[in-house]
Structure 1
Amino acid sequence: MTVEAALALCSLVLVLALAVGAVAAAGAQLRCLDAAREAARLVARGEPDRARQAAAVIAPGSARVDIRVVGDEVTVEVSGRGVGRLPGLTVSGRAVGVLEPGALLGGPSGGEPVGAGPP
């Protein structure tokens, strides 16, 4: 095998590894977005505890779930670090919703977090 062929093979393996990492990161970002959307929907219905549980199931393994309620607006952000074999990468998803009429949250409001997941 020549030096050029060895370099080409190494380059091909590197590009393939980066492509697989990019696909894994895109999948994790979509999971964060789905988790945020589902949690915002549940909080808007008045179920913040259930929202946190659902987001934890949908989101990537070590994701953090932040839920904020300001007035009648719900904002949920789900973020995770160390996706797949890319330890320095952080992915996130954010969803916003409006509280349904009559939905009462047992937690704080006015910009205070309803709860935050593990760091």
Structure 2
Amino acid sequence: MRPPRDRGAVTVEAAIAVGVLVLVIAMGIAGVGAVADQIRCVDAAREAARLAARGEPERGRAAAVAIAPRGAAVDIQVAGDTVSVAVRAEPVGGLLPGIEVSADAYAVAEPGVAP
């Protein structure tokens, strides 16, 4: 009796393993990109809040748009002497559907400055 033929089985297993390896590496790179975009959102919100508290909200918005990931939404709210900024974006240019990175920053307006 002849043993069953397993010809090509190793090739198929190797192809599946390479595909899974590429997927894991791609997800790892996307994760690192999402973390980098989160940090950029934090920096953008902080800078916008600081500039708005100095009385320069439009300059703060421009700075936040320049710092934040591409396509980020920047929302600056002024209530009395309190400035709040929210920055929201899809990480890695939208390659991770359903995931959003965001950051909020708060500041108190400097004395004598109307934000």
Which runs of no fewer than 5 residues in structure 2 stay unpaired? 1-7
- Matches of 1:74 and 1:68 in 2, distance apart? 6
Q: Does 1:103 align with 2:113?
A: yes
- Whichever structure has more helix as a proportion of its residues is 2
Residue in structure 2 matching 1:11, options 12, 20, 34 = 20
**Which structure's CA Rg is the greater one?**
2
**Superposition CA RMSD, Å:** 1.5
- Residue in 2 aligned with 1:50? 59
**For the Cα contact (< 8 Å) 1:83–1:89, is it kept in 2?**
no
Which runs of no fewer than 5 residues in structure 1 stay unpaired? 106-119
- Matches of 2:15 and 2:91 in 1, distance apart? 31
Where does 1:57-72 land on structure 2 (aligned, <5 Å)? Answer: 57-72=66-81
- Matches of 1:101 and 1:82 in 2, distance apart? 37
* Secondary structure in 2 matching 1:88: coil
- Residue in 2 aligned with 1:34? 43
Deviation at 1:81, TM superposition (A): 2.3
- Matches of 1:8 and 1:103 in 2, distance apart? 62
- Residue in 1 aligned with 2:85? 76
- Residue in 2 aligned with 1:112? none
**For the Cα contact (< 8 Å) 1:44–1:100, is it kept in 2?**
yes
Q: Deviations over 1:22-48 (max 9, x none)?
A: 011111111111000000000111111
Question: Normalising by structure 1, what TM-score?
Answer: 0.81
- Residue in 2 aligned with 1:89? 99
**For the Cα contact (< 8 Å) 2:76–2:84, is it kept in 1?**
yes
- Whichever structure has more strand as a proportion of its residues is 1
* Secondary structure in 2 matching 1:74: strand
